[in-house]
Structure 1
Amino acid sequence: MREVMGALEASLLTERRVALATVVRTEGSAPRAVGTSMLVTEDGLPVGSVSGGCVEASVMEAAAGVLASGVPELHRFGISDDDGFGIGLTCGGSVEIFIQTHDPASCPDFASLQRALDANMPCALVTIFDGAPSLVGRSELVLHNAEIEGLFADTVLAPDALRAAGDAVQEAIASGTTTSVTLPAATGTDKPLSLLIDVYRPARRLIIFGAIDFSASLAQLGAFLGFHVTVCDARAVFATAKRIPSAHEIVIDQPARYLQKELALGKLAPDAAICVLTHDAKFDVPVLDVALRHGFSYIGAMGSRRTATDRRQRLIGLGHTDQSLAPLRSPIGLDLSASTPAETAVSIMAEIIAAKNQTSGLPLAHTSVPIHKGVLERAGYQLRPAGRPPSFCN
C-alpha cells in the first residue's frame, strides 16, 4: 500500500470514498508482488497498478461494485480461468486481489500507520481478506514486538492459531517482507481466516563514502529506488548538497569514524548497503575494515582490479581472512561494461538488488528457473549468490 499512501491520505482529507485493491496472494509468474495496491476513485479513476496493466480494467469494474455496495470482495485472476486471455494475464500465473472501501470508518488504523511511518517504527497493517463475512475487511496496526489486540475480537480462535498469527506478523516485520497467511477457522465458522500482513519498515539505508561524480548518480538512483541515502566524505569542498542534490544527508567526517558512530547509535540495520567510492586507501581501507567486521547485506568498493587486489592485501594485514573478505564486492557492480556515472550507478544498484534477493544477476534468458524470488523459494530452488554464475557461463 506504500505506493498509494499519498493518494489515500488525500482522499481522507477531502472525505472522498475510494476503493483500495490489493494483491493478497500470487501463484506462478504473477506480475506484481503481494501487498501491491491500486486505488479507484468514485469517478472511476485509477491510482497505481496491481498487475502492470493485465487486469486493471476488471479490477476497476469490481471496485465500482464495492464502492456501490460497501462490501469487500476477493477476486482471483489467472491464465487457467476461462477469461484468462481476455483480461490479459498471460504471464502464466494467477493473482488474488482484495478490494475494499477506504474511509475513516473502514480503515481506522490508517492515521496510526502514518504516525508509525513518521516515527520510523517497524510495523504491519494486518487485514482479514478471506473468511467469515463478518470478519472480512477488519484490520489492525501491529507494531514490532507488540501483540495483536483487537483483530480477532468477538471470535474464538484456538490458542495455537492466535500464537501462529502473532508469530507470522512478527516474523514478517523482522524480515521486512509483506506476505499472507491462512489460519484455521474460528469456532462457529466454516472458513479459514486469511490475513494480509502488509509490512512497513524504515527505508533501507544506502551509505556512499566518497563525494565524487559517480556518487551523485548513485545517490539519485538509490533515492529513486526508495533508499535513504547518506553521502560521507572527509573533504568539505566535495561533500556539498549542490554537488549531490539527491542525497538525504551529506556528512563531513572521516568515513570509518562516521560508520562507527552510526553503529554505536544503533542507526544501521544489517540490510544497509555500504558503497565505498573514495579511491583512496587511507579512507577506504579503514571504513571497509569496520563494515566487514560488523556485517551488512551489501559491501562494495570501487576501483580497478589492481586496486582491489592491493586493498585486499591491506585488509589481510589488518587481520582479515578469505572468509571475512568474502562479502566484499570489489570491483563494485555487475559486469555491464559501464563507463559513465549513470551507467555505473545502474551497475551498482543492480548488484545491490541481486544481493538482497540472493539471485545470480544473470540475464533471465540465461536462466531456467522461475522469474520471481517468491516462486523460487516455494519451488525449492537453490538460489545462487549474486555474482556467482553457473558453470555454463564461466
Structure 2
Amino acid sequence: MRAKVGLTEMREVMEKLEEALLTGQRLALATVVRTEGSAPRAVGTSMLVTEDGSPVGSVSGGCVEASVIETAADVLASGVPELHSFGISDDDGFGVGLMCGGSVEIFVQTYDPAACPHFASLQRAMDENLPCAMVTIFDGEPGFAGRSELVPQNADIEELFEGTALVPDAVRAAGDAVQEAIASGVTTSVLLPAATGTEKPLSLLIDVYRPARRLLIFGAIDFSASLAHMGAFLGFHVTVCDSRAVFATAERIPSAHEIVIDQPVRYLQKEIARGRLATDAAICVLTHDAKFDVPVLDVALRHGFAYIGAMGSRRTAQDRRERLIGLGHTDQSMAPLRSPIGLDLSASTPAETAVSIMAEIIAAKNQTSGLPLAHTSDPIHKGALERAGYQLRPAGQPPSFCY
C-alpha cells in the first residue's frame, strides 16, 4: 500500500480500475511521473477520468485537474498518450498551474484491458502481498510511451524494452533501479539513455506496490486502542499482542487487524522466525512492565527494526536502559530505541499520544527532524530516495532519479 494519496482516494482509483477490467470500459489514467520543488502530490499519484469526463482521485489537489480532464478526453479520442508539464500559475492566478511554486509532469494514457494487460497480475500480486512495481515508459520515441510491465521483486525486466534497441547496460541499469525502488518502497521515475538509432531518452515510471507496513503494539491498554486506530488510518497493518485475554479483545481495540493473546517476546520471536516481519516494521511497547517490555526490546534491538519505541516516564526509560545494559547492550546498540516514545507534543489523552507516536514513526521513516516546517529550510516534499542517500542529479549529468 502506498501513502501517496488519501487511503479512501486510492481505494476508489483501484476499485474503478478493477471495474473497468471486468466490464471492458475505457478510462484515461493520469499519473504524476515527475515533480520538482514543492509539488502538491507525490510521484505515482493517479487520477482516472471516465469517458463522460468524471474524475476519480486527484493529481494536484485541484490546481490542474480541469486541464488534465480536457487532456484525458483528447487521449481517449485519439488513443495516443500525452505528457504534460505544469509549473507555477501566472501572476493573476487565472492561468493553469500550481500555486505551491513547484512543478509537476503528468502522463495521461488510455486504460482498458487491452492497453494494460498487466493489471490483473498486479491485482493478484497485491492480493498475495507480493512486492512488485508497475514499470511504464512515459516519454521517449513515438510508439514507446505507454508500454508497461509488472516486475516482481528480484525479477528481471523481460518485455518492456523489446524492440527499443536499448543497450544491455541500460537495460541492466533500469532493472537495478526497479529493484532498488521496490526494496525502498518508493515510487520514482528514471531517465535512461536514448536507444540505439534514436535521439530521445526513455523515461520510466517505477510505480511500487508493497504489502502494508506492519505496526506491532505490545500491551492492550487504553492508549493501544487509539494507536491502533491511528496506525490503521495511516495504512499500517496493525497487530496488538498481550498475554491477558481479558484486555486483548476486538471490542476494546476494534481498529486492530490482528489481536494476539501470547507472551509478547514469544510472539515477536515467532514472527521473526517465520520471516513475517520486514525490518521496516514499527515496534511499540506499551506494556509498562519490565518483565514484558525489556525482553521485547532486547529482541527488537538485536533484529534491527526501523522504529522501536517504549512508553513510560523518564525514570522508567532509565531503568529499562540499565536492564538492557545488563543484557549486553551498549549505548550504540540502544541508539534506535525511542524511550520515552513519541514527539514532544505535551500529549496527555490517548488520542493525542497516538498522534505523537505516529508522527515520530513517520519522521523516523523519512529521516526528518520532526521540527515545525516554519523552523526548517529543507524542501517540504524532499524525496525519500534522496534522504536515503541517492545522488539524484550527478554534476554534469542528466538526472537518473527524477522527483
TM-score (norm 2): 0.91
Q: Is the 8 A contact 1:127 1:195 kept in 2?
A: yes
Equivalent position of 1:49 in the other structure? 58
Equivalent position of 2:38 in the other structure? 29
Q: Is the 8 A contact 2:26 2:51 kept in 1?
A: yes
Where does the alignment leave 5 or more consecutive residues of structure 2 unmatched? 3-9, 392-403
Q: How far is the alpha carbon of 1:168 from its aligned partner?
A: 0.8
Q: State the one-letter code of the partner of 1:201.
A: R
Alignment partner for residue 113 of structure 1, among 97, 100, 122? 122
Q: State the one-letter code of the partner of 1:148.
A: I
Alignment partner for residue 206 of structure 2, among 185, 194, 197? 197
Q: State the one-letter code of the partner of 1:86.
A: G
Equivalent position of 1:164 in the other structure? 173
Q: State the one-letter code of the partner of 1:75.
A: H
Deviations 1:61-83 (CA, angstroms, capped at 9, x unpaired):
11111111111100000027799
Q: Is the 8 A contact 2:132 2:208 kept in 1?
A: yes
Q: Distance in 1 between matches of 2:92 and 2:72?
A: 18
Q: How far is the alpha carbon of 1:87 from its aligned partner?
A: 2.2
Q: Secondary structure at the match of 1:373?
A: coil
User: Where in structure 2 are the equivalents of 1:326-365 lying within 5 Å?
Assistant: 326-365=335-374
Q: State the one-letter code of the partner of 2:319.
A: D
Q: Secondary structure at the match of 1:322?
A: coil
Confirm whether residue 249 of structure 1 aligns to residue 258 of structure 2: yes
Q: Distance in 1 between matches of 2:370 and 2:234?
A: 17
Deviations 1:68-109 (CA, angstroms, capped at 9, x unpaired):
111110000002779986224021110000001111011000
Q: How far is the alpha carbon of 1:381 from its aligned partner?
A: 12
Alignment partner for residue 284 of structure 2, among 272, 275, 278? 275
Q: State the one-letter code of the partner of 1:361.
A: G
Q: Secondary structure at the match of 2:137?
A: strand
Alignment partner for residue 73 of structure 1, among 60, 82, 91? 82
Question: For the structure 1 residues 171 and 187, does the alpha-carbon distance in structure 2 shift closer, same or farther, using more than 3 Å as the test?
Answer: same
Q: Distance in 1 between matches of 2:261 and 2:298?
A: 20
Deviates more, 1:165-174 or 1:353-362: 165-174
User: Where in structure 2 are the equivalents of 1:381-392 lying within 5 Å?
Assistant: none
Q: Secondary structure at the match of 2:117?
A: coil
Q: Is the 8 A contact 1:302 1:331 kept in 2?
A: yes
Deviates more, 1:354-363 or 1:170-179: 170-179
Equivalent position of 1:392 in the other structure? none
Deviations 1:48-72 (CA, angstroms, capped at 9, x unpaired):
1111111111111111111111111
Question: For the structure 1 residues 83 and 108, does the alpha-carbon distance in structure 2 shift closer, same or farther, using more than 3 Å as the test?
Answer: farther
Q: Secondary structure at the match of 2:333?
A: helix
Q: How far is the alpha carbon of 1:5 from its aligned partner?
A: 1.3
Q: How far is the alpha carbon of 1:171 from its aligned partner?
A: 0.9
Confirm whether residue 97 of structure 1 aligns to residue 126 of structure 2: no
Deviations 1:263-298 (CA, angstroms, capped at 9, x unpaired):
111111110000001111111111001001111110
Q: Distance in 2 between matches of 1:361 and 1:242?
A: 33
User: Where in structure 2 are the equivalents of 1:167-186 lying within 5 Å?
Assistant: 167-186=176-195
User: Where in structure 2 are the equivalents of 1:196-235 lying within 5 Å?
Assistant: 196-235=205-244
Equivalent position of 2:6 in the other structure? none
Where does the alignment leave 5 or more consecutive residues of structure 1 unmatched? 383-394
Q: Distance in 1 between matches of 2:91 and 2:196?
A: 35
Q: State the one-letter code of the partner of 1:141.
A: L
Q: Distance in 1 between matches of 2:98 and 2:338?
A: 38
Confirm whether residue 377 of structure 1 aligns to residue 386 of structure 2: yes
Question: For the structure 1 residues 103 and 84, does the alpha-carbon distance in structure 2 shift closer, same or farther, using more than 3 Å as the test?
Answer: farther
Equivalent position of 1:284 in the other structure? 293
Q: Secondary structure at the match of 2:48?
A: strand
Confirm whether residue 13 of structure 1 aligns to residue 25 of structure 2: no
Q: Distance in 2 between matches of 1:176 and 1:138?
A: 22
Q: Distance in 2 between matches of 1:381 and 1:131?
A: 24
Alignment partner for residue 61 of structure 1, among 62, 70, 75? 70
Q: Distance in 1 between matches of 2:366 and 2:122?
A: 27
Q: Is the 8 A contact 1:28 1:375 kept in 2?
A: no
Instruction: Kindly tell me the number of residue pairs found equivalent between the two proteins.
Output: 381
Q: Is the 8 A contact 1:177 1:199 kept in 2?
A: yes
Q: Distance in 2 between matches of 1:84 and 1:68?
A: 30
Question: For the structure 1 residues 360 and 376, does the alpha-carbon distance in structure 2 shift closer, same or farther, using more than 3 Å as the test?
Answer: farther
Q: Is the 8 A contact 2:240 2:259 kept in 1?
A: yes
Equivalent position of 1:325 in the other structure? 334
Q: Is the 8 A contact 1:21 1:38 kept in 2?
A: yes
Indicate the RMSD between aligned Cα atoms, in angstroms: 1.9
Q: Distance in 1 between matches of 2:338 and 2:321?
A: 11
Q: Is the 8 A contact 1:125 1:142 kept in 2?
A: yes
Q: State the one-letter code of the partner of 1:259.
A: L
Q: Is the 8 A contact 2:220 2:247 kept in 1?
A: yes
**Greater relative contact order: 1 or 2 (C-alpha under 8 angstroms, separation 6 or more)?**
2
Identity of aligned residues (%): 86
Q: How far is the alpha carbon of 1:373 from its aligned partner?
A: 2.0
Q: Distance in 2 between matches of 1:381 and 1:35?
A: 19
Q: Secondary structure at the match of 2:85?
A: strand
